[in-house]
């Protein structure tokens, strides 16, 4: 079987040809990571984004990182607030600020905006959480400040809000992941804060006409984040068997809400793990559990239809781990290019029952051949040698 006619070299022409092959111009183009902290994929992503901005009219980039911290990066790339070192330290969660490709991307976006009137934007689309969650303080206090006035005091005074929030350490205790009894998510204070968050979001809706569009968009972000965090904390305190799967689902629902807001700014490249961007149900082992949930990509696809497109990533040799010749990655390794973009649906029709790939790198998720027909394309790198360990 020759799969060369299903693939193109991964360059600007290949990306533009891929976009033209789609049934509609996507508002959100997802580029999935098979593994975090792969230098070659980060560099490839940067090349793709530069081409999309310069030749395809894209104006936004969104990454699987804290949506509130992302405001620091956006303020820098659009207006020069702060320094690059400070932005990389404060503008990313999950230690993504340590990745050289992310630093280069931020530097390029700032330089581009200095030379062009129409700005490119940066967004984090994850919530302020992973398997544990941050305090809702920043989101609630910032939302309240933007809605300043007598009606806000009728919902909650600044003093009452501070009292209900209490010390941030009560909220950000990582031990709640394994021990629901450590969570304060179902305490009386948390229940009252959920009602307050709902009232502030309702108040924002009534006050929307008086807010300028950028101010309103930021207030909506704070509202989504406050409601989502308090909902997540509620389920951190749950002891049922479905707890971890539902927490994963809630996280991706928060991601999807942020991505729908990103789409309002026009075409955007979205970069995150394959598990968060794919259309089929996401599955992941966690200790003795096997988690299953609908990803942000699946949720977005339900709303945007073919205005959402998804490129999964896959690697041939990962470090010293080469794929079996009969595996999907083994077959893709026979392509004549080091980097390729592959028509996923044609590949799905041509490849039947490939050998499974089990990588020795626990952090690498081999592509699931059963989901190929629900992808639009595959970004394939023959070798991923720049594998960085997950920062501790």
Neighbouring CB atoms inside 10 A of 327's CB total: 22
What are the φ and ψ backbone dihedral angles of 104, each rounded to 5 degrees?
-65, -40
Q: Tell me how far apart the alpha carbons of residues 177 and 173 are, in angstroms, rounded to a whole number.
A: 8
Find out whether 25 and 306 touch, Cβ atoms under 8 Å.
Answer: no
Place of tokens 């021990």: 179
Neighbours of 312 (CB within 10 A): 28
Please classify residue 311 by burial: count the beta carbons closer than 10 Å to its beta carbon, then call 0-12 exposed, 13-18 middle and 19+ buried. buried
Integer CA distances (angstroms), 39 to 29, 70, 77, 272, 360, in order: 21, 21, 22, 14, 19
The Cα–Cα gap between 166 and 118 comes to 42
Decide: residue 166, CB within 10 A, 0-12 exposed, 13-18 middle, 19+ buried: middle
DSSP secondary structure of 35-97: SSSBHHHHHHHHHHHHHHHHHS---EEEEEEETTTHHHHHHHHHH--S-HHHHHHHS-STTGG
Three-state secondary-structure class, residue 6: helix
Contact between 315 and 385 (Cβ < 8 Å): no
Give the span between the Cα atoms of 289 and 61, in whole angstroms: 34
Low-confidence residues in the chain, pLDDT < 50: none
Question: What kind and span of H or E run contains 293?
Answer: strand 289-293
Give the residues across from 360 on adjacent strands: none
Burial class (CB in 10 A: 0-12, 13-18, 19+), 3: middle
- With 0.85 as the threshold, say if the pTM is over it: yes
Between CA 259 and CA 274 the distance in angstroms is 15
Rounded to whole angstroms, how far apart are CA atoms 183 and 239?
Answer: 11
> Is the Cα torsion angle 367, 368, 371, 372 positive or negative in sign?
positive
Tokens 């991964």, residue? 10
> Within 13 A of 187's CA, how many CA atoms are on the CB side?
15
For residue 258, count other CB atoms closer than 10 A to its CB: 23
In angstroms, rounded to a whole number, what is the distance separating the alpha carbons of residues 24 and 305? 10
Q: What is the pLDDT of residue 390?
A: 61
User: How many alpha carbons lie under 13 Å from residue 292 in its C-beta half-sphere?
Assistant: 4
- What does the pLDDT read at residue 391? 58
Residues 336, 8: Cα–Cα separation, whole Å: 10
For 326-351, the pLDDT digits (tens) are 999 999 999 999 999 999 999 999 99
Scanning the structure block, which residue is given the tokens 């934007």?
121
Q: Which of 14, 18, 10 is nearest to 44 (CA)?
A: 10
Q: Which residues pair with 321 in a beta bridge?
A: 318
């Amino acid at each position: 079987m020759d799969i060369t006619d299903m693939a193109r070299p991964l360059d600007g022409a290949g990306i533009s040809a891929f976009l033209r092959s789609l049934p509609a111009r996507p508002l959100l183009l997802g580029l999935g990571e098979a593994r975090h902290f792969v230098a070659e994929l980060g560099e490839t992503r940067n090349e793709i984004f530069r081409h999309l901005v310069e030749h395809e009219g894209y104006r936004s980039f969104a990454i699987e990182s804290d949506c509130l911290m992302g405001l620091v990066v956006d303020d820098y790339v659009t207006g020069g607030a702060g320094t690059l070192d400070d932005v990389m330290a404060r503008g990313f969660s999950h230690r993504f600020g340590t990745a050289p490709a992310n630093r280069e991307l931020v530097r390029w976006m700032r330089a581009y905006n200095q030379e062009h009137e129409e700005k490119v934007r940066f967004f984090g689309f994850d919530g302020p959480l992973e398997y544990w969650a941050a305090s809702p303080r920043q989101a609630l206090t910032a939302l309240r400040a933007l809605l300043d006035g007598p009606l806000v005091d009728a919902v909650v005074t600044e003093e009452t809000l501070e009292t209900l929030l209490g010390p941030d350490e009560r909220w950000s205790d990582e031990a709640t992941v394994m021990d629901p009894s450590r969570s304060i998510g179902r305490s009386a204070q948390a229940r009252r804060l959920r009602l307050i968050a709902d009232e502030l979001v309702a108040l924002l809706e009534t006050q929307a006409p008086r807010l300028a569009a950028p101010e309103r968009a930021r207030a909506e972000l704070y509202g989504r984040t406050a409601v989502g965090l308090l909902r997540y904390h509620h389920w951190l305190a749950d002891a049922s068997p479905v707890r971890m799967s539902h927490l994963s689902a809630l996280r991706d629902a928060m991601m999807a809400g942020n991505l729908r807001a990103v789409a309002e700014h026009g075409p955007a490249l979205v970069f995150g793990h394959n598990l968060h961007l794919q259309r089929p149900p996401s599955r992941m082992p966690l200790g003795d559990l096997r988690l299953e949930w609908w990803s942000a990509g699946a949720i977005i696809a339900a709303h945007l239809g073919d205005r959402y497109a998804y490129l999964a990533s896959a690697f041939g040799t990962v470090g010293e781990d080469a794929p079996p010749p009969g595996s999907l990655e083994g077959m893709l390794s026979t392509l004549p290019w080091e980097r390729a973009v592959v028509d996923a649906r044609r590949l799905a029709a041509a490849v039947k029952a490939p050998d499974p790939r089990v990588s020795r790198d626990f952090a690498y998720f081999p592509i699931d051949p059963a989901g190929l027909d629900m992808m639009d394309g595959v970004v394939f790198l023959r070798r991923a040698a720049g594998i960085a360990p997950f920062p501790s």
